[in-house]
A and B are shown apart, each in its own frame.
Chain A
C-alpha cells in the first residue's frame, strides 16, 4: 500500500516501517505482506505492544519519527476517512463515486504532507513543534494500562490454545478501553474469522452516531 510512496521518497532519507497489529501472526498477515512485495520492513506485532507504546487505537494509523528519534507527529489517522460509514454498500462492498472521491481527497492530502516532510524535513509545516506534538499525545489513562494488561494476558492464553480462558480478559480489555477499535476488532477476529467486519462491527460503528470512527488528522499545527 505504501510501496509507491517509498519508491518516490527513499532517496530523501525516508523509510516506511509497517507494523501489523495482528494476533493471527504470519498466518493472517502473510498473504497481504507477500502480495504487497514491499521493499521496506513489514513487521508483525502479535501482542499489540507497539499500540500500547504509541497509543494507537485503530488502523490505519501512523506516527512520524525524525532522524534523531523524536516523534514529530504522534499517532493519528493515516490517510483514511469515515466515508465508508455512509458511502459503502455493506452487501456488495462497493463504494459510491462520492465516497471514492472523498477517500482520494483525504488520502491525497495526507500523502502530500508526507512528501513535504520527506523533502523539507524540519522546515515542513507538517512537523509539529514540541508543544503542539505534546498536546496531541494520546496519553493513557490508568484504565488503559489495566486494559493493556488484560489484553496481553488474554492474547497469551489464546496463543497457547486456551481460547475460553482468554475470552474474559479480552472482553475486560475492550470494556476498560472502549476507544480501542484494535482491541475490539482483534477480539472479534480471534473469536471467529471475519467477525471483525461483520454485523457486530457495523452495529458498533453505527452506535458512534456523530462521533468519528477515524478522527480526521489535522495536518497543520
Chain B
C-alpha cells in the first residue's frame, strides 16, 4: 500500500510500504528518497554515519524478498519520535529531543528556509554577516 512519509524536514514522500501496528516496512529501494537512509553491509547509513542493526534483533529491522526495512524501529532505536495516522496512511518522523538539545547548546543559530507572502524563499543563512533580530508573531 502507499504511505505518505514525512521524514523530519524532507518533502512528503509517497512510499510503497506495509503498516503493521507500530511498524512501518518500507521498500529498501525507497529508503534514500523517503528518509535519506540507505542499507549497506555495515548497517543503515546516511552519509558517513552508519547505525548497525542490533545483533539478535535483525528481524525487527530487516526483511528479505522483497527487501524491506522497518523505519519505525530505526526511529525507536535512535530515540526519535514517530507518530502515524492510519486512516490516511501518514507517518511523521521527528527530530529527537537529545539532538535538539545538543544543537541548541552549540549556540549556533539553526538555519531554516521559509517563504515570504509572495512565496519567495528566504534562508536565515542569506543574512549571515548582519545582526539578526528574529522575531516571532502570529495572526491568532
A binding-site residues for B, Cβ under 8 Å:
1-2, 5, 12-22, 24, 26, 28-30, 32-34, 41-45, 49-56, 59-71, 74-75, 78, 114, 117-118, 121, 130, 133-134, 137-142, 144-146, 148-150, 152-153, 156-157, 160, 162, 165, 169, 182, 185-186, 188-189, 196-197
- CA distance in complex: A209, B107 (Å): 33
Q: Given known contacts A65-B109, A145-B97, A153-B84, is B133 in contact with A2 (CB within 8 Å)?
A: yes
Alpha-carbon distance A51/B9, docked complex (angstroms) = 14
> In the bound complex, what is the Cα–Cα distance between A200 and B54 (angstroms)?
48
Q: Judging by beta carbons under 8 Å apart, are A64 and B131 in contact?
A: yes
Residues of A with C-beta under 8 A to B94: 145-146, 148-149, 152
Can you list 29 contacts pairing A with B, beta carbon distance less than 8 Å? A2-B133, A13-B129, A15-B131, A17-B132, A17-B135, A18-B136, A20-B139, A26-B117, A33-B116, A34-B117, A42-B116, A49-B112, A54-B134, A64-B131, A67-B131, A69-B109, A70-B109, A71-B107, A121-B131, A130-B107, A142-B97, A145-B95, A149-B92, A152-B94, A153-B90, A165-B85, A165-B88, A185-B138, A186-B138
Q: For the complex, what is the distance from the CA of A138 to the CA of B101, rounded to whole Å?
A: 9
* Residues on the B chain within 8 Å of A64, using CB: 131-134
Q: Which of B23-31, B32-40, B42-50, B120-128 lies at the interface?
A: B120-128
**How far apart sit A66 and B131, CA to CA, in the bound complex (Å)?**
5
Chain B residue numbers with a CB within 8 Å of A160 are 88
In the assembled complex, the CB of A124 is this many whole angstroms from the nearest CB of chain B, namely 10
- Of all chain A residues, the one with the shortest Cβ separation from B119 is A26
CA distance A54 to B109 in the complex (A): 8
Query: Chain B interface (Cβ within 8 Å of chain A)?
Result: 6, 9, 12, 79-85, 87-88, 90, 92-97, 100-101, 103-105, 107-110, 112, 114-117, 122, 124-125, 127-140
Query: Chain B's nearest CB lies how many Å from the CB of A47?
Result: 9
How many contacting A-B pairs (Cβ < 8 A)? 207
How far, in whole Å, are A124 and B109 apart by their CA atoms in the complex? 19
Other than the given A59-B137, A60-B137, A137-B105, 19 more pairs (CB < 8 A) read A14-B130, A18-B137, A19-B114, A19-B135, A22-B139, A29-B138, A30-B117, A41-B127, A43-B114, A44-B115, A62-B134, A64-B133, A78-B135, A121-B131, A134-B107, A139-B105, A144-B97, A145-B96, A162-B88
A residues less than 8 Å from B93 (CB atoms): 149
Contacts of B133 in A (CB 8 A): 2, 5, 14-17, 62, 64, 114
Please, how many angstroms separate the alpha-carbon atoms of A149 and B138 in the complex?
20
A21 to chain B, nearest CB (A): 5
Q: How close is B81's CB to chain A, nearest CB, in angstroms?
A: 4
Chain B residues with Cβ below 8 Å from A118 are: 131
Interchain CA distance A15-B125 in the complex, whole Å: 13
Contact B131 A60 (CB under 8 A): no
Given A41-B116, A162-B88, are A17 and B134 also a contact pair (CB < 8 Å)? yes
